[in-house]
């Protein structure tokens, strides 16, 4: 007996389907899919959430010096003339950053192997490429999702049956984060 469902697809198609649905689930909080797919997506998603819960506090804060461009009141960079050339003026600033410990870094890379990159488009700027922002789902897992489930031992997702699909009578379900 197989340890997973084949979902009527080749292995590469199946992996792509599962990656896409897990990414959508973690980004949106819930998805509508068939029952068989939901049970497979649940396995992968719960593994990622469990990894995030385990490693959520495994970092150290480090203060570093960074060069930041000086800006005027309009938000444009301040430039000064040096040897006949316009040069941007930089200021040194102390910044506090989170530095992952090795096990958290490993967990982050395992998550990145599963999750697809997500771009978020604000509704007021729909259709404009400059307005899109890259969403860091691994950071979302560590900062938003993991603290929510810190006191929970598994069971991070819920499957709710919503009836049969009209076209092929496949049982459709809502898979959502609890």
Q: What does the pLDDT look like over 103-126, one tens digit per residue?
A: 999 999 999 999 999 998 877 766
* 115 domain residue, yes or no: yes
Question: Looking at the 3D structure of the chain, how many domains does it have?
Answer: 2
The answer to whether residue 3 is domain-embedded is: no
The answer to whether residues 110 and 24 belong to one domain is yes
Q: How many CA atoms lie within 13 A of 65 on its CB side?
A: 3
List the Cα angle 94/98/102 in 5-degree steps.
135
Give residue 58's pLDDT band: very low, low, confident or very high (50, 70, 90).
very high
Q: What is the pLDDT of residue 97?
A: 92
Residue 161 has pLDDT above 90, yes or no: yes
Least confident range of 49-53, 77-81, 116-120, 130-134: 130-134
Looking at 100, 127, 151, the residue that finishes a domain is 100
The answer to whether residue 24 sits within a structural domain is: yes
Q: Which of 73, 100, 127 is the last residue of a domain?
A: 100
Do the domain assignments include residue 5? no
Q: Are 148 and 61 in contact (CB under 8 A)?
A: no
| Domain C-terminal end among 68, 100, 132 | 100
Domain encompassing residue 44: 15-57+102-177
Residue 80 shares a structural domain with residue 145:
no
Are 84 and 146 members of one domain? no
**Tokens 């950071």 correspond to what residue?**
139
Q: Could you tell me if 72 and 143 lie in one domain?
A: no
**What pLDDT score does 123 carry?**
77
| 109/138 same-domain check | yes
127: left (phi over 0), alpha (psi -120 to 50) or beta: left
CA–CA separation, 167 and 34 (whole Å): 12
Mean pLDDT of 169-175: 97
Pair (20, 85) in one structural domain:
no
- In angstroms, rounded to a whole number, what is the distance separating the alpha carbons of residues 163 and 160? 9
Closest CA to 80 of 165, 72, 8, 66: 72
Instruction: Tell me: do 69 and 145 sit in the same domain.
Output: no
* pTM as predicted: 0.84
Question: Do residue 34 and residue 122 come from a single domain?
Answer: yes
Strand order in the sheet with 171-177: 30-34, 171-177, 157-164
Do 108 and 140 share a structural domain?
Answer: yes
Q: Does residue 70 share a domain with residue 40?
A: no
């Amino acid at each position: 007996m197989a340890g997973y469902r084949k979902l009527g697809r080749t292995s590469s198609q199946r992996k792509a389907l599962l990656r896409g649905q897990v990414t959508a689930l973690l980004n949106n909080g819930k998805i509508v899919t068939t029952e068989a797919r939901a049970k497979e997506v649940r396995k992968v998603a719960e593994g990622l959430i469990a990894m995030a819960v385990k490693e959520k506090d495994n970092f150290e804060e480090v203060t570093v010096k960074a060069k930041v461009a000086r800006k005027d009141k309009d938000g444009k960079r301040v430039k000064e003339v040096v040897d006949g050339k316009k040069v941007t003026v930089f200021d040194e600033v102390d910044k506090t950053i989170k530095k992952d410990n090795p096990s958290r870094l490993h967990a982050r890379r395992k998550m990145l192997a599963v999750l697809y990159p997500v771009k978020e488009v604000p509704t007021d700027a729909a259709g404009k490429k400059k307005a899109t922002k890259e969403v860091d789902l691994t950071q979302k897992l560590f900062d938003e999702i993991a603290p929510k489930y810190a006191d929970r031992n598994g069971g991070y997702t819920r499957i709710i049956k919503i009836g049969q699909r009209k076209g092929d009578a496949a049982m459709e379900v809502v898979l959502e984060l609890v």
